[in-house]
Amino acid sequence: MTTKLRCIVADSYGELSQIGADAVEAAIKADPNVSVLVATGNTPMGLYQELARRRANGAFDASHVRVFQLDEYLGLEPEDRRSLFGWTRRSFVDPLGIPLENVTRLAPDAGDLEAACRAYDAAIKSAGGLDLAILGLGPNGHLGFNEPPADAHAPTRVVDLTIESIESNAQYWGGRDVVPRVAMTAGMDVILGARQTLLVVSGSHKRDVLERTVAGAVTPDVPASYLQLASDVIVLADRDAWGAMPQPR
């Protein structure tokens, strides 16, 4: 197996969360105004909890961090428990003491969704671009909700979720029937434009898609494989996800 990506294999999910927190803490300390694209999903939750613990202990100040939401379902009431904005807030924004005015939302309730997508992209541009993208890996290779096949230049937009994503997201909300079918996602162009990327991957169910991401062909069928072409990417996997691939150097 050869890969151009910098890969780190953690012994456990706990170690993955520590190493991930080290990377994000370092980014915040290097630039307190850092612009961060923030994934929800299960994988980064240990990392976020560890960051919150460190921040509560005074390790760093995140009050100037700027947060950009990665994706959002359409058709939910603002207070719906399934809102990914709500999840981003509960897991990252509030525990890190980041003021809400530092958060750029995707606006699924906007009258003009296309205009809302362009406003989101413009906000990233006026922030000087993204410094760091914290991403999880979809079971079908998606990043955010850039479902396969996805063009590398796909913009921020409204997307239909694939069956794989609906089934995978069913675990969050207790059944596939409660998973919304349509979402808004930061575009591949936004994600690939981040100056640094941290992709966190955990669990044996991600083995095949992780191998295709780091060592397979760069293809629209595995949107995460485009990371092979991005500039400063760390793939942080636990041993269960890394499987039998050779230990990275």
Per CB under 6 A, residues contacting ligand F6R are 39-43, 70-71, 84, 136-138, 142-144, 168
Q: Which is nearer to ligand F6R, 196 or 213 (CB)?
A: 213
- Among 147, 112, 2, 131, CA closest to 68: 131
Two tokens at 60?
A: 């760093």
Angle at 117 between CA 113 and CA 120, to 5 degrees: 135
Q: Which is nearer to ligand F6R, 59 or 123 (CB)?
A: 123
Select which of 50, 131, 142, 240 is catalytic: 142
* 147 included as an active-site residue: yes
* 71 included as an active-site residue: yes
* 205 included as an active-site residue: no
* 177 included as an active-site residue: no
Q: Which is nearer to ligand F6R, 136 or 180 (CB)?
A: 136
Angle at 1 between CA 203 and CA 5, to 5 degrees: 70
* DSSP code for 141: S
Q: Which is nearer to ligand F6R, 52 or 134 (CB)?
A: 134
Sign of CA dihedral 148, 117, 137, 228: positive
CA dist., res. 155 & res. 237, Å (int): 27
- Kindly state the smallest distance separating residue 71's Cβ from ligand F6R, in Å: 5
Select which of 50, 102, 131, 140 is catalytic: 140
- Kindly state the smallest distance separating residue 136's Cβ from ligand F6R, in Å: 3
- Kindly state the smallest distance separating residue 123's Cβ from ligand F6R, in Å: 18
CA dist., res. 123 & res. 117, Å (int): 10
**Count of CB atoms situated within 10 Å of the CB of 239:** 16
- Kindly state the smallest distance separating residue 235's Cβ from ligand F6R, in Å: 13
- Kindly state the smallest distance separating residue 144's Cβ from ligand F6R, in Å: 4
Select which of 50, 71, 72, 131 is catalytic: 71
| CB-neighbour burial class of residue 92 (10 A; exposed 0-12, middle 13-18, buried 19+) | buried
Q: Which is nearer to ligand F6R, 14 or 32 (CB)?
A: 14
Show which residues are catalytic.
71, 140, 142, 147
